[in-house]
Amino acid sequence: MQTYSENTANAYNRIWNGYGAAFGESVVRYLTTLAPTTQRVALDLGCGTGSSARVLLANGFRVTAIDSSSHMLTHAKANCEQYVAAGLGTFMQGDIREFQVEAPVGVAVSSYDTINHLESPTELRACFTCVARSLSPDGIFVFDLNTIRGLDDWNRVKITDREDYAVISRGFFEPRTGRAWKKFSGFYSVDNGLYERFEEVIFNTAFRVADVVAELRGAGFEGIHIAALPDFSQGIEDPEAEDRVVFVAGRGHR
């Protein structure tokens, strides 16, 4: 699993929290459409700096969050400090391929391509099985995924230049092995007008949508549908034609 360095976690907290927050808002909106209403206890896998968890907490959920990076968790705890202090948010270091929670949850979420960090269908099944065991009988699992098309788009150089940060990303996708890598190099502003440098290489695994669905079913999930941000209630006809998709999978009647 990918584990981010301290400098990268600092940069992530300044630059990339917006996606996780948007994902969390979409989850909350989707849950309001379900009947009966899913219990407000959530599990956040690969929680990063806590942006999705913070949205869930702010909307009345009790959240348990897991991440492999201690540096990411430091930011997550700080970003959700009031909820941690109130005993509503628990953030712990762990492996999404092998974990357990103390009590069943109503919803499990995973955002910003965390599932792409798994390296094989075997690891997918291990993660999905742990999630299924953690959910209540009518619980749901909502997660996003970079598609093969989306990872093929990594084959380029992208430069982002802002007043308080600058990032250069260089990507490479190898279709034969189904592996993609992206190197981020950049700077972000700190105190006294100074800038801190960061550099990280991340990897993603390309999974066929049909294979992900098969592993979900093998782990005991039903009622699987595939959507896109921001509306998880609307399915999409050709998921492989999208750059990123969202899976919604139920344990029970959904």
Instruction: Say if 157 falls within a structural domain.
Output: yes
As a three-state string, the secondary structure of the chain is CCCCCHHHHHHHHHHCHHHHHHHHHHHHHHHCCCCCCCCCEEEEECCCCCHHHHHHHHCCCEEEEEECCHHHHHHHHHHCHHHHHCCCEEEEECECCECCCCCCEEEEEECCCHHHHCCCHHHHHHHHHHHHHHEEEEEEEEEEEECHHHHHCCCCEEEEECCCEEEEEEEEEECCCCEEEEEEEEEEECHHHCEEEEEEEEEEECCCHHHHHHHHHHCCCEEEEEECCCCCCCCCCCHHHCCEEEEEEECCCC
Same-domain status, 116 and 178: no
pLDDT computed for residue 118 by the predictor:
97
- 232-245 pLDDT tens trace: 988 999 999 999 99
- What pLDDT does 205 receive? 98
Is pLDDT above 90 for 16? yes
Residues 194, 140, single domain; the answer is: no
Higher pLDDT, 2 or 160: 160
Q: How many CB atoms lie within 10 A of CB 8?
A: 21
Find the radius of gyration of the CA atoms of the chain: 18
| Average pLDDT for 174-178 | 94
Render pLDDT for 39-68 as a digit per residue (tens, 0 to 9). Answer: 799 999 999 999 999 999 999 999 999 999
Residue 114 pLDDT exceeds 70: yes
In this structure, the answer to whether residues 68 and 169 fall within a common structural domain is no
Whether residue 165 is found in the same domain as residue 81: no
Residues 26 and 136 in one domain: yes
Confirm whether 1 is domain-assigned.
Answer: no
Q: CA-CA distance, 128 to 138, in Å (whole number)?
A: 16
Q: Are residues 86 and 172 in the same domain?
A: no
One domain for residues 130 and 212: yes
Residue 172 confidence (pLDDT): 97
pLDDT of amino acid 99:
96
59 and 29, same structural domain?
Answer: yes
Q: Do residues 58 and 176 share a domain? A: no
Give yes or no: residues 109 and 176 share one domain.
no
% of the chain exceeding 70 in pLDDT: 96
Full domain range(s) for residue 43: 6-147+206-250
Quickly state the pLDDT bin for 252 (edges 50, 70, 90): low
Q: What is the CATH number of the domain that holds 160?
A: 2.20.25.110
Q: How far apart are CA 134 and CA 155, in angstroms?
A: 37
Please give the tally of structural domains in the chain.
2
Q: What is the reported pLDDT for 253?
A: 43
Percent of the chain with pLDDT over 90: 87
200 and 210 in a single domain? The answer is no
Judge contact between 11 and 199, C-beta under 8 A: no
- pLDDT of residue 230 exceeding 50, the answer is yes
Token duo for residue 127:
């993660």
The pLDDT of residue 5: 81
Looking at the fold, whether 42 and 74 belong to one and the same domain comes out as yes
Whether 254 shows a pLDDT value over 60: the answer reads: no
Provide the pLDDT confidence category of residue 38 given band limits of 50, 70 and 90.
low
Is 128 part of any domain? yes
Read off the CATH number of the domain in which 227 is found. 3.40.50.150
Tokens of 237: 């006809």
